[in-house]
Amino acid sequence: MTEENKPIEQAVRKQTPHDEAFKKLLQTFFAEFIALFFPELDAVLDHSNTKLLMQELLVDIVGKERRNLDLLVETKYKTMDAFILVHLEPHSYKEDDFHERMFIYFARLFELYRKKYPLIIPIAIFSADEAREEPNTLQMAVQDQEILKFQFLKVELKQLDWRRFIDSDNPVAAALLAKMGYNKKEEREVRSAYLRMILRLRPKLDDARMALMMSVADLYFQPNAKLDEEILDEIKAEYSEKGVEIMELMPAWMRMGYEKGIAEGVEEGKKEGREEGRKEVVRKLLGKGFSHEQLADTLDISVEEVKELAN
C-alpha cells in the first residue's frame, strides 16, 4: 500500500461497521429508499419484481485494484417493460476521485450486462460527517465536441434538512435522520423527532425490520442521559398509554446513557454505604417505566433484590 493511499485505507477500515449496517438497510428497504429520495424514479419502477444480485467483483484497471460493488439490484422499469440494474454505492469518507470510480464501475457493468439490461442506474449515498458538495459527473471534450458526459444520482445526507423528513413514516428517513444536516442547538429536536417517528412506525414494521432500522440510527446518536431523560418524560406524558412500548423501543444510545447513570448511582450508593441511595435509584427508574427484569439485568442482581430495593 502506498503512502498516499493510507488515509483512504484507514478510513475504509474505520467505517466498516457503519458501511455494513448501511448496506443491510438498503437491501431491506430498497423500495422505501428510492421512494424517499427519488420519487420520480420510484413512480416508474415495479418493486414487486425486485431482487438483490450477488456481489459483483470488478477489476479497476486504472487503480489496479479488485473491488466488490456494494449493492446491485435488478428491478423492472414499467415504461420499458424490461428489467434494469440499479447500482447502490454507500460512501462514508472523503475520496476526491470517487466520481471516477463510479464511472469505472458503470463501464464494467455496461460491458458485462449491456445485452441483458437496457438501463443501468448508478446511485451514490454520501454519509460523511462533514457537509460538502460531492462531484457526480465525469466529462471529456475536445474543443466544442463533447466526447463523454457521465453522471450518477446521489444523496448527500449532510446537505439535507432534517425537518423535511420528520413527518415521514418511511423507515429509511427515521434510520438516517441523525446523519442529516443539523447544528448543536437542534440536537434535542432531532432526538425527540426520531423517537416520535419510531413510535409511529412500530405498528407498521415487524420486529426484525424495526430492529434493523433502529440499529442503524443507533450508530449515529451519542448517549446523553440528561437530555434523553427530559425527552423521554415529555414523550411519556404525550403518549401516556404507550409507556411500556416506549421503554421497549428505547434506542441503544438512550439505554447506554441510562444504564451508565444507573451503574454510577448504585456504585455511589455502595461507596457511601447508603442503602437508601440504591433504593432511590431503583425507584426512580421503575417510575420511568423500566421493568424489574430490565433493572435486574442492568444491575446484575436478581429480580427479587430489585423488588426489595423498590419497597
CB crowding 88-108: b at 16 or more within 10 Å, else e: bbbbbbebeebbbbbbbbbeb
CB count within 10 Å of CB 293 equals 10
- From first to last of its 311 residues, what are the pLDDT tens digits of the chain? 444 444 444 444 444 566 778 888 999 999 999 999 999 999 999 999 899 887 655 554 445 555 667 789 999 999 888 999 999 999 888 888 999 999 999 998 999 899 999 999 999 999 988 888 999 999 999 988 999 999 999 999 999 999 999 999 999 999 999 999 998 899 999 999 998 898 889 889 998 898 889 888 888 887 777 787 788 788 877 776 665 566 666 666 565 555 555 555 555 555 444 566 667 767 766 766 667 776 776 666 788 887 887 77
Residue type, position 111, single letter: E
CA Rg value for the chain: 24
Separation between Cα atoms, residue 110 and residue 120, nearest integer Å = 7
Q: DSSP assignment of 2-66, as one string?
A: -GGGHHHHHHHHHHHHHHHHHHHHHHHTHHHHHHHH-HHHHTTEEEEEEEEPPPPEEEETTTTEE
The DSSP code for 86 is E
The DSSP code for 288 is T
**Contact status, residue 103 vs residue 150, Cβ threshold 8 Å:** yes
Burial tier of 275 (Cβ tally within 10 Å: 0-12, 13-18, 19+): exposed
Residue with the three cell numbers 460512501: 91
Looking at residue 222, its pLDDT comes to 77
Looking at residue 67, its pLDDT comes to 63
Separation between Cα atoms, residue 77 and residue 119, nearest integer Å = 9
Looking at residue 250, its pLDDT comes to 66
CA 157 to chain centre: 10
Alpha helices by DSSP H, the chain: 6-28, 30-37, 39-42, 98-113, 171-176, 187-201, 207-218, 225-238, 243-248, 252-271, 275-287, 292-299, 303-310
Torsion angle (degrees, nearest 10) of CA 23, 17, 164, 47? 10
Q: How far is CA 85 from CA 37, 146, 186, 207, 232, in A?
A: 18, 26, 39, 30, 43
Separation between Cα atoms, residue 73 and residue 27, nearest integer Å = 9
Domain boundaries along the sequence of the chain: 3-159
Looking at residue 258, its pLDDT comes to 52
Q: What grid cell was written down for 61?
A: 484497471
**Contact status, residue 103 vs residue 138, Cβ threshold 8 Å:** yes
Within 8 A by CB and 6+ apart from 279, the residues are 309, 310
**Contact status, residue 91 vs residue 133, Cβ threshold 8 Å:** no
